[in-house]
Structure 1
Amino acid sequence: MIIKSLKRKNVATVPSGYSGQERRFAQSVSEELDTLSGRRGNVIDRAVTFRDLLSTGVLRSSKGILGNGTEVIGPNEDGDGAGGGATQLPTKPDNFNATGGFGVIFLEWTLPEYVGHDYVEIFRLRKNNPTDPTPTLAQAQAVGVYTRYYGDLMRFTDTNVGNQENWYYWIRAVNIDGVTGPFESSAGVNATTALDYIFVSGLIDSILDDDINSLGLNTTLGAIDSTLTSVTNINNAQQAKYAVKIDNNGHVSGFGLLSTANDSTPTSSFVVAADRFAIAAPFNSSAADVTAVGTNIPFKVFTTATNVGGVSVPAGVYIQDAFIHNAQITTALIRDAAITSAKINDLSADKITSGNITIDNSNNIAIRQGKSFFNGTASGFFLGNLNGAGVFNLGDGTNFVKFDGTNLEVTGASITEASIGTLKIQGEAVTAPRSTGGSVSTTFGGTNREICNIPFTMPAIGAGQSAGVMVLGTVNCFSSNSTGTSVRIKIFKDNTQIGSIGMTWASDGVSGCALGKTTQGSGGSATYRLKASCDNNNGGSSTKAGTISGTLLILVGKK
């Protein structure tokens, strides 16, 4: 017996904002769930479900336990893409790409369709140093499968990565029989995670602290309230520094240039200690706008928060125009952005508009392809909002499934098997059966005895339609009396008989049914009755003591 792998959704990725102990805990939980679901490690280590036991024949189920029964995955029933048929060999993945982000690496690929697809295996290896040999596929296979992807989007986000780590990846498809396909390539793809600002910023701060201490910009000049000083110091070519600082009642500011040896290699630092720092265009007396320095200040730095004209200005760097070739941003607030290509791990937005997607806070939501609006007849789909109601339209102008928020319209449908509680076609052309039951114990003779009845009001009939009523009555007759007689089952509409059947009723009982048909106008009401009587048409007794139980069923048809 083979336990066939079942499709399972991806475990949610560890949020990139997690760090330290909480990130390690979340990763350990994610890895354990991946192992139990069969997406990581050896497939024999995954958890076994009741579906696995049912599919292998270890257990058998009854519909009474599982409702509609269990759908066992067979070799011709599962798989994405090319429809039914015998399971095929897995195809080779294409267009495999890896992109590094902050604490994540995005993987994406395409997979040609084949019958019986189950999942995609992902292998990976890390290149620890730039000078290390490039990892190989053989090495990755020796380590084992990193994870298994069961989704249909052919995208995977690896969050089990660190800062500036270089990882290599390889993928291949596996069908429901456990047969593996070819790898996308032996070289694989690789990506490096982005530089983490918080980590690097801490290192930079420690270096700048040493420079500020060395320049003396964090010390006062004694009891002098306001002093300007310039210090130049060259110490045997091992260290040179130049600093200017101002001490205004203990508020020390200034700038300094320091050159010192770092592991026998000269390095330099330029430090400005000030509440505000700016780079401005120089004064130009020949310019049309002759003003002091400050007309054009493209770069401004506030090291401490301040208040300008009653407006609070937080500490930060303020740039009027920036031209950045490669930027790494931990958190960005962008008022207006034009982005050519974006890879986003987690997106939260008030409004999204693209060629095929429109989402905003004005109750205007649409996801579409082929159709530009809800009632479009072009081949495609439209899923969205129309007049405050959720709607969809799938298909073309001839064959489609359409829901306008109230009514579902289907054309060109072919249904092999359906289980429907109540079926209503336009104008209630078909109404689900209405039934009742009852029983009578007595001595039956020539007088009709009522078994049960159904009051019925005809639903509204559409223009150009006609309606008919079919009534079916079924009975079971029981008696300890061995005398044979004839029993007649009759169906009445109010007091008018519309159907009957006669049967011989002996000691062992008898069962039968009568069918009646009639018409009933729109909104009209009538009571349909099931009755029974005995006579001696067969030459026997004209009476019979016993019990007759019956069921009356009504079916309305319109056309």
Structure 2
Amino acid sequence: MKPDSRKSLPAGNSNKILDAIREAVQTYMGMQGDKLDRGVTVRDLAQAGLIDVSKTYLAGRSRNPIAGINTIITSPGGGGNVIIPGVTYEPDLTPPPTPSGFDVDAGVSFIYIECAAQTYTEGHGHAVTNVYGVKRSGPALPTFDQAVLLTSFSGTVHAYPTDPATTYHLWIKWQTKDGVESASPAGGTNGLTATTAQDVRTLLNALTQAATNPDAPYSKYAVRAGMFYVTNDVTPDGAPLFSVVSAPITVGGVVVPAGVYFADGWIQNGTITNLKVANGAIDNLKIANVSADKLIAGSIAVGQYVQSTGYVAGTSGWRINGLGNVEFNNAIFRGQAFVGNGSIGGITILANAIVSSNYDGAGNGFRLGADGSLNLPGGSVSAQQLNVGAGANLLTNSQWVDQPQAIVGAGGTRQLPQGWEFGTSESAYNTWATNSNDSWPDWVPQDQNGFLMHNPQGPHVDTYMLIQAPFPVLPGRRYEVSVYSGAHRCMVYVDIQWLDGNRNVIGTSADGLIVNNGEMLGGRRYDLFKRIGCFGTAPPNAAGAIFRIIKQATQSGTDSYAFLVSPFAGAARPQQTVFSDYSPSGIGTRISPWGITTPSLSALTAVLGDCYAGSLRGGSFAGYGWPGDGGGGFYLGPPGLLLGNANAGRYVQITERGNFYLPGMQVEEGVLSFQRANIVNSQHIVQGAVTFALAASGNNRADIIFSIPAGEVWNIALFGAFGVSNAVAYGAVGDINNAARTLTVTNSPISDRQLVDLWSGGGPPIGWLFNKGGALFSQLVLGAGTHQLTAGVNYEVYAFNTPVSLMAFIFKR
């Protein structure tokens, strides 16, 4: 890329400043200079399709021209805003209808406004009702173009505060959540009229002034009396219907304050500043403010909101507004709760997902989608029970792992994945589990497990071999099966067998069958395989199904192969004709307190109690056999345990029969054999153990000298071996009976031991011959100190020579 050629502007007092500004502006406009230095406008981004322009901006209702940066849903009347990051919100600029049910009434210091419920859906629904009005002071009737916005409210009723004795002409419009008002107001040409009542206190003050002012231009009639009342003309001393008390009086201990008293009264219109009612029945009551210790109602229709006295938004108390927005500190729902979207703490609930506020898709937060996907870029999962998998593949072992050892039968060698079965009409066959690292690396995709069916014979007719696996179905539901296949000199196809509750075959399906008749051979990539498969609908009484993969007989040549990988069985849509994307078995992995069930498990470390598995292996091991590459590792399965590699001379092997093999020793059928041993210490072994042996040899005598450390006791098995002596002349001086072989131990309570040996005389003239070899044995127990062991022969004066060997086997304890 070319370097940045843009220049900074000179100082403001430079005579070149205008030229520099002109050059900079033209560069940013792309009129001169390098096009890489051209400025990019929002219009450029919109025309390039990189952003969307906000419709509210085009309508003049937003200062942000870029749509979809953040969606902000405002909750009028309380409840705050819900911000949904990264979600494109498309406004609806359709105006709402003209309000209906518009009516007004007036109190002393408020105007009561009401309208019908707002059920329209334009503009994503109702937000507020806007009230427009004109305060009338003359005879002329105002029109809407003279009105101003007085207030806005949610719900259907509102009390607008104003002064007593005031007349208003009022109109209303509804406004949507997208900020669009009704095209025409409700209220007609001159609006609805509401006049507040006069303040009674003001009127009473005026009457008092008129009564006490002798110059007032009014005729007056006054009754000066402590009590004035009106009763009927039949019983003049009867109870008064109307009484006026001008000053407090006391009657029978009851103090009656000054005032006007009615026994019964009918009033068509009235204005009351303060009212005390012991018991009231009111048909229709319109009140701006209500204070009540207890409120009992059959139903309450709230136009704007109901809230607690201590309500502070986001801090304390509670509020329920007319739009259904609520704010509580805590809530207990004993039934169901249905939530369209919103936020809970740092969690945002969308229409199709639940995401944390810090979710970025890279390394923070989480996202749980409506499709069942869970994205935890940098988190962990703790669960009582966890099923892991894509959920679409109904086969229990679609990845073909945990294949057992090959089984040699009458027709050939058979090796199958767990959960799969084999069948054939061939007289000769081989089936092998394969992967990208074994002896068939060119016919399996990288890092995948595959399966091979081999017919080692020439062309046949009407013979086959197959593998099959069950999967669950629902009656009447449509299903699909498929597998990636490579076919050499044969045809490979599939079908579905339907089973009833007793596993009897009740039908077969192969709708829309796709076969591989040698078109694709397979290899290291999936695109070298042909995906074959079919569809089928489960019969009404189907309880299960069998997915069969069938290889037909050799078509030409001396043999034929079928390479298979990634089998799939799953539910299909009614009109589906294309196979679904492959996914591993959905129920292949289950994690629960009772264990982990999985087709494949990889871990750096693990602390396990009981472990149940078809086989465990690591390193270079692929099965129960020493790796040919000289590598090590381990294999543990039904045939036994292998560690290391016998080809390298470092190994441990334990067979299923209990035989045990190590370099230099073995245990077969309960018999221990040593080829070589170097036992160092056995002081903690009951009955002791052979730790080492000492030996010496010589003519007529052999000696062994050794020391036993303090605190130790040694058991010693002492063997002396004596060869055949030479012959001596007959008649030599001495008593031949004194000739003997001996074993001697020094520094021991064992004294010299003379062992008489058989001898024979050859007779003259041959002379004497100590003609028998043999061996002597002694068992000793020695403690600390230096000891000498001796084996020898004593022939006195006779010149016999005999080879002597001495061996001591030391048992330390």
Question: What TM-score results when the alignment is normalised by the length of structure 1?
Answer: 0.43
Greater relative contact order (Cα < 8 A, sep 6+): 1
TM-score (norm 2): 0.31
